[in-house]
């Protein structure tokens, strides 16, 4: 009878120890996963900040953007129209980023060329 009780106690001790080790292993894995997610989020924020800095650099145009049939299209003409559109967008609470300004400049240039 004593042997049986001792075996049961030993078995429970081993099972408890295994459960604790399994729990510790699971805790370490979840901690590692949390750290990986945290690092990815930080890297993502850094990349977004870099992209914003690139996007907010002022647009640079040559003095003469295009010459069509001997007529020069100057940057001032395109820039003034971009500024007008920025005012319109700001009235609606929106802001034009550089990517949209580039698209707008292309549209303005096409409109000038084809008119």
Give the torsion sign (CA, 59, 60, 64, 67). negative
**What are phi and psi for residue 29, nearest 5 degrees?**
-65, -45
Residue 13 belongs to some domain of the structure = no
Do 53 and 70 share a domain, yes or no?
A: no
Distance CA 78, CA 65 (A): 9
Do 48 and 82 share a domain, yes or no?
A: no
Residue 32 belongs to some domain of the structure = yes
Q: What pLDDT band is residue 34 in, cutting at 50, 70 and 90?
A: confident
Kindly state the tokens that stand for 52.
């914003």
Q: Specify the pTM.
A: 0.51
pLDDT at 48 over 80: no
- 113 Cβ contact list (under 8 Å, min separation 6): 66, 68, 73
Task: Determine the structural domain holding residue 71 and report its residue range.
Answer: 64-113
Do 76 and 47 share a domain, yes or no?
A: no
Residue 3 belongs to some domain of the structure = no
Write the pLDDT tens digit of every residue in 63-95: 998 888 889 999 999 999 999 999 999 999 998
Could you tell me where the DSSP H helices lie in the chain? 2-55, 75-91, 98-113
Residue 2 belongs to some domain of the structure = no
Do 71 and 107 share a domain, yes or no?
A: yes
């Amino acid at each position: 009878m004593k042997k049986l009780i001792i075996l049961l106690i030993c078995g429970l001790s081993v099972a408890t120890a295994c459960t604790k080790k399994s729990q510790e292993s699971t805790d370490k894995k979840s901690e590692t996963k949390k750290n990986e997610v945290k690092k990815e989020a930080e890297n993502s924020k850094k990349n977004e900040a870099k992209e914003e800095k690139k996007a907010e650099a002022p647009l640079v145009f040559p003095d003469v953007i295009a010459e069509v049939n001997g007529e020069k299209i100057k940057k001032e003409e395109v820039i003034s129209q971009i500024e007008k559109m920025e005012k319109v967008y700001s009235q609606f609470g929106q802001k034009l980023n550089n990517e949209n300004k580039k698209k707008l400049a292309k549209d303005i240039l096409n409109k000038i060329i084809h008119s």
